[in-house]
Amino acid sequence: MKRAVATGLAALLAFATAGRADLVILQKVEGGGQLTDQTIKIKGDKARSDLTPTVSMLTDGETGETITLMHSARTYLKVPAEQTKAMMEQFQKMRPNAEPGKLQPTGKKEKIGDYDCEIFTVNAGALTVTYWIAKDFPNYPAVLAQLEKFQSGAISAMGKGTMPALKDFPGMIMKTEIDLGGKKTISTLVSAKEENVDPAIFKIPAGYKEITSPGLNFQQPK
């Protein structure tokens, strides 16, 4: 469960998956020997990421609070904005310098689905992110316009200077490989559509009980 939360936060930094309009993103995620389908639903400042069939994450982009729902046990773990900020500060200390991560072209190309992609990398200390970017994704400008609005929110502000700004991406991110301390997570975009999202999905389900955690910490790999 700790890995799922850390991966979810890393993904938020890497793809800024929250915005101020209704958006539904479908992706396939491979990591830890598992392949899962993930759905990210966004409405206003709130995002719900269904990470696995049994684990979902609710994110408040304005406050920085995250809530992880464990459906099988009908429990939830709340991480306040202060703890999220502390985690981000620990993460930023792992970076070799204070310069923001920059997109570096590799000169390589690969087709992802129906789209020809150029491959870029970003290095930020213990975190290395590789992006496959499609410049001809049909509705990318509309999706980017929504995602850019999140940059004024708390989650993005905490990670500011770690990942490149969305305006620096020359196209749609079709595939992302996140390497955090040697642990890799690969996300491949299936679709990104603007459609209505029910606000009720961002509430903690009735009957779920809160649990506590001794702490979630990023550690510098040895």
Residue-level pLDDT at 115: 95
* Residue 31 forms part of a structural domain: yes
Number of domains in the chain: 1
Phi and psi (nearest 5°) for 32? 65, 30
Residue 217 lies in a domain: no
Say if 181 falls within a structural domain: yes
pLDDT given at position 87: 66
Establish if 221 belongs to a structural domain: no
Host domain of residue 207: 2-211
pTM, two decimals, is 0.72
Q: Is the dihedral of CA 95, 89, 189, 167 positive or negative?
A: negative
Residue 94 falls inside a structural domain: yes
Contact 82, 154 (CB under 8 A): no
How confident is the model at residue 15, as a pLDDT?
45
Q: 3-state SS string over 98-112?
A: CCCCCCEEEEEEEEE
Q: Could you tell me if residue 109 is inside a domain?
A: yes
Angle at 178 between CA 157 and CA 16, to 5 degrees: 30
Q: What is the pLDDT along the chain (222 residues), one digit of tens a residue?
A: 544 444 454 454 444 433 345 888 899 999 888 889 999 898 888 889 998 899 999 988 777 788 999 999 999 999 887 776 676 666 666 655 556 678 999 999 999 999 999 999 998 777 889 999 999 998 787 776 666 654 434 455 545 556 777 778 889 999 999 998 888 999 999 988 888 999 999 999 999 999 987 554 444 444
pLDDT of residue 5: 45
State the pLDDT at residue 71. Answer: 97
| Beta-bridge mates of residue 187 | 29, 176
Residue 220 lies in a domain: no
Inside any domain, residue 87: yes
Confidence (pLDDT) at 12:
47
- pLDDT score, position 55: 94
pLDDT for res 174: 94
- Tell me what pLDDT residue 62 has: 78
Which CATH number is 171's domain given? 2.50.20.10
